[in-house]
Structure 1
């Protein structure tokens, strides 16, 4: 009978380890030759655009796969965490690939069955290994795979080139590997030695040789060093537990986020960026108040890219969903987490990517940095690092009242990434035209409905005339209307719907 859930290997082996960088690359090549890549896996599992298999769907995945060909056996072992009869492994997995998996300790023999020692998931061109989800239940040092917060952090990171970069709380090493593609050198730190072992393995599997791993808690391994770019995915969850190193920081309330946000500015070289995932106890009257307080006197400017706001039940449910098939344990965990939030007086929790930029100047001017908050749409993010960098450049350009008035003399145009469209809706026997919308097809996925005055103004902003001239052609003359148009153009410029057409544009 097919098992209904994945089964961890006996004795919980250590992370796989390739014999050499060359051996790791050869293993990755053999896996891809066997079809171990996103399109083939999606096709075999019937997951559409999704790749990460969900435990409740495991029985259907197994029945789609069967176990009578090489890719099916590999997916059972390395993706789904299901043991396979040794005879089937020997009969279907090619000798060279099987030998490479054996020598790297990816396979664990248990009598007449074989287990996969780790989970291996393709992400675009990368292969990322981590612990199987089933192994998490009893191990604090569990190393999870790539989750949506990790993807969001990668998409929002400002990347330039040639940096000395830091991946703080590296986990399985996905951020360090992405940094290595453009940074000269990457330091990856984690308190979890098992996580660093996976970081080294994943670097080798993907041909990365400029990542250095260091063990230690938060900033301990860094000894006052400075970096050109820092990314951090710390254990930011506001949690009453100490069950998992990757999730539970062991500090009260949002103490982990505060510690990291207060500490990172001291790690940044002048002009350097940092991107860090945080969570905090949110005040609905001033959502950005706590992160803003943490940055006072830091010498950094910041955008708080607010991704979501959850109530306590949503948060407790999200971070305990691995217990959903154990109803009593699940209910106990929810009650424990909700009691913790009541004790702390938390009614809302904010989640964001906080992007920092160290100021170039020193002294009092550097300490007086600004913090702006932007609510991101609740939809899938895409690579947006360049857009995030432009947010800082545009804010600098528009700083101060005098700069705002000077904007009237600047030439503006609609950004190349912006698309204006109008949909129609069929209702009561006929088609009804909807209000036009503007959206960005690259970068941050902002969308806005256009009222008639805004639509007329956009039609005038083709880069050939100043904003003042465009306002004259688009709106009725008058001080109030002119001021409103200036404010509107400024806001659309700040988030990227418009851009400066002048030769000195950022």
Structure 2
């Protein structure tokens, strides 16, 4: 019966044109922006004006009021908006509940995920919502929002159900809250490599959004979570959107997939560092239950045992800086040590959640993960080498080590980190409770010697075959393996379909150049990537530039300083001449030794290939 009801709901939502663009059309872009700040008054005023103008409520407006703004609607209006399902069907699916007569004006929107524990209901009296009265109304039990995206496979749209947010509840979220699509979710989905694979694992699926994205490039997806309620909502979302290749399993971390391997592992883990003391709330959607960054460490260490050869894991995470240890040194240790050592050092890890993190309010960290974010000014010019980037390296793999490309996007001091996540839990500043939690966070960081917290992206890969360090590369063990840890705090490039395809291209380019000696590289005919531009600065009246820079329009938006020789080489890479011929011509033109020039330029050509500035030409057809 439930499947039949979901089918009716799907049909009704499509008929009502319940979409992102339709909602913007109802209340405008300014109201959209206000909603992202958790303010609904502009949207309510727009809906009231539309109702007054038309003399009735549009079905899409009814759905928006109920499921986005979190306010009650007339039963008759909901029956009209959902003609196949009806208000009764919405109640049966757990989407809405009846409001007693006289309560409709003040809401009563409890969080279904927490109602059993708290009995909380929303206080929605102060909404600016005028002219709306009801004697037979329904309040929302869930959010049900339209969601649209563009990826390597094209444009798509879904409807996503999740627990009610603070806007509807009128109070802080419950600890078992299941989030919808937030900034961190958008960031991770935009990072996903879209290469077609047989199997994918979404570790800590939450509302199911990453598993749904993975279903577009994987034949089979397994989605896990420690929260039974999260799995229920994820299953609803998958069925509502007609996705049939996702399997759900209950359990912590890798326990539900013990002994299994996957081509692609995806995880938005509960990476928030939370004091483990009495009186500090622990939210399933963001807190892994371990001390410090141990949850992210457990996900990283366990990946090697669950990836197929050449399989890739992608996750978001944070990591601690300690007084006497750089965070990148700690990350390198996670990559080299087997998962068994993690289990020995973290005995609680087998019982810890791996549910996804963070919601979408603009004061939260997930906004800093959003594509094209410029919230953090770069410490050095984008792409420039500096002592802080000294951990960028390539090294030989061995049986225990994962290949890795880790990108730190932001660093926060303990004070800012604590403020961010206390606000995320719904505790207001300038209150005694906020000050108490603030003290607990700072006590924890001080006791463990934490000086900063880094945030970023982790891409891990299991080598196709292990190679003994120092042994020559072979077709079966090409290498050196990828081990790159870098800091890129600046804005990303323009990536309307996400950055996943760029990451895949960079991995392929790295593998090609790593398996290619200088003699073969010199015979390669390269082309400049279509998004690359060159910038030159001149002193007035001078013919020669004083500064030349190569800019990347997409990807990570890197910028590379150029000298005369490298600028000339890049400019000549049009696919007609091989690299060796270009170097020979430049040596003659610049009147320098060809071998010395080649020794200088070829390593930089490798970097430009790996970073996507230069490409191998695509064969015709």
CA–CA distance in 1 between the matches of 2:251 and 2:566?
A: 53
What does residue 532 of structure 2 align with? 419
What does residue 334 of structure 1 align with? 438
Q: Which is further off, 77-86 or 461-470? A: 77-86
1:389-411, Cα deviation, whole Å (9 max, x unpaired): 222222223338x8256423322
Change (3 A) 1:145 1:474: farther
What does residue 80 of structure 1 align with? 69
Query: Displacement, 1:248?
Result: 0.8
Where does 1:99-110 land on structure 2 (aligned, <5 Å)?
A: 99=87, 100-110=89-99
Mapped contact 1:242–1:250 kept (Cα < 8 A): no
Where does 1:47-446 land on structure 2 (aligned, <5 Å)?
A: 47=29, 53-66=35-48, 68=51, 69=57, 70-86=59-75, 89=78, 93-96=81-84, 98-99=86-87, 100-112=89-101, 113=104, 114-124=138-148, 125-134=157-166, 135=169, 137=172, 139-240=174-275, 241-282=280-321, 286-296=326-336, 298-322=400-424, 323=426, 325=428, 327-328=430-431, 329-362=433-466, 364=468, 370-376=482-488, 377-379=490-492, 382-399=497-514, 403-404=517-518, 406-416=520-530, 418-420=531-533, 438-446=550-558
CA–CA distance in 2 between the matches of 1:281 and 1:310?
A: 10
Task: Provide the secondary structure at the position in 1 that maps to 2:193.
Answer: coil
Mapped contact 1:460–1:474 kept (Cα < 8 A): no
Mapped contact 1:312–1:349 kept (Cα < 8 A): yes
CA–CA distance in 2 between the matches of 1:368 and 1:437?
A: 29
Q: Which is further off, 331-340 or 469-478? A: 469-478
CA–CA distance in 2 between the matches of 1:279 and 1:334?
A: 19
TM-score for the superposition, normalised by structure 1: 0.84
Task: Provide the secondary structure at the position in 2 that maps to 1:171.
Answer: coil
Task: Provide the secondary structure at the position in 2 that maps to 1:333.
Answer: helix
Alignment coverage as a number of residue pairs: 476
Task: Provide the secondary structure at the position in 2 that maps to 1:129.
Answer: strand
CA–CA distance in 1 between the matches of 2:415 and 2:600?
A: 41
CA–CA distance in 2 between the matches of 1:127 and 1:434?
A: 53
CA–CA distance in 1 between the matches of 2:185 and 2:35?
A: 17
CA–CA distance in 2 between the matches of 1:52 and 1:388?
A: 34
1:469-500, Cα deviation, whole Å (9 max, x unpaired): 22344572246554433333222111101112
1:96-116, Cα deviation, whole Å (9 max, x unpaired): 353453342211112133211
What does residue 429 of structure 1 align with? none
| 2:576 counterpart of 1:460 | no
Change (3 A) 1:500 1:105: same
1:261-301, Cα deviation, whole Å (9 max, x unpaired): 00111011112111122211136985522221111153421
Task: Provide the secondary structure at the position in 1 that maps to 2:455.
Answer: strand
What does residue 493 of structure 1 align with? 609
Task: Provide the secondary structure at the position in 1 that maps to 2:450.
Answer: coil
1:238-267, Cα deviation, whole Å (9 max, x unpaired): 222552111111111110011110011101
Mapped contact 1:262–1:298 kept (Cα < 8 A): no
CA–CA distance in 2 between the matches of 1:424 and 1:318?
A: 41
Mapped contact 1:460–1:473 kept (Cα < 8 A): no
Unaligned runs of 5+ residues in structure 2 are: 52-56, 105-137, 149-156, 337-398, 470-476, 539-544
Query: Displacement, 1:191?
Result: 0.5
CA–CA distance in 1 between the matches of 2:73 and 2:618?
A: 64
CA–CA distance in 2 between the matches of 1:128 and 1:119?
A: 8
